[in-house]
Amino acid sequence: MTANQITQTDANPVESGSERSSGECAFTKLMKDAALKVVEVTMVVCGKLPPSLVTATSSGDAIFSRDDLSNAGKMQEFVTTGRMICIAENVDAVVVCVSAWIRTEGNSQVIEPVLADGVRGAGQEVVMLFGESRDKMGWAVYSVERHGNGHFRGFEEGPDIRNAKVNWEFFGFMPTEVPDDISRRKAKEYLAARNLPNPRTSQERGLYYY
């Protein structure tokens, strides 16, 4: 299982199509290990992938997902909660996993993420991974293979999307600096106020779920 590419860039600015660094950093390892495990297990069990945030924490790899990001308010809640998780857990890396469809418009490709349950796009079905560490950002893409009955079969090498238009880029979750104790305490209070389960008490398949 290999992506067409795992592109890494400096954290600022984000230029998804330019390859500028060498070696494996925290988010590329998370992409290839925990994030793909989450995607594969979710696709096998559910047949679909809701937008999911995967983090590498001191307690293990934790997942936060939402079925519906179809409006600005729900998208903002997902982004804010994801950022609070990254601060509260002082994570080393984070990867956002989303289903998407690639379609052709004229001479260009357009990538449309699936932001709500039951929404089916047109074109080629793919999974996109948007990864961050403190100083790097990048993405990878995998094509989705299905059986004739529509059940998930596996992944294959993704298409070359270096010149494609991505309607959403899921970056900006990682704090640029290591959070201090006060920031972590406030982030934990934010998460507790929203009644998210403690990831340490909800382990399943070797992963922790918010």
Give the span between the Cα atoms of 170 and 173, in whole angstroms. Answer: 8
The predicted-structure confidence for 82-136, as pLDDT tens digits, reads as follows: 999 999 988 888 999 988 888 888 878 888 888 776 666 678 889 988 888 887 8
Query: What pTM, to 2 d.p., does this model score?
Result: 0.78
Domain locations along the chain: 6-209
Give the span between the Cα atoms of 100 and 12, in whole angstroms. Answer: 25
The predicted-structure confidence for 26-83, as pLDDT tens digits, reads as follows: 677 777 777 888 888 888 888 888 888 988 776 667 788 888 888 888 888 888 999 9
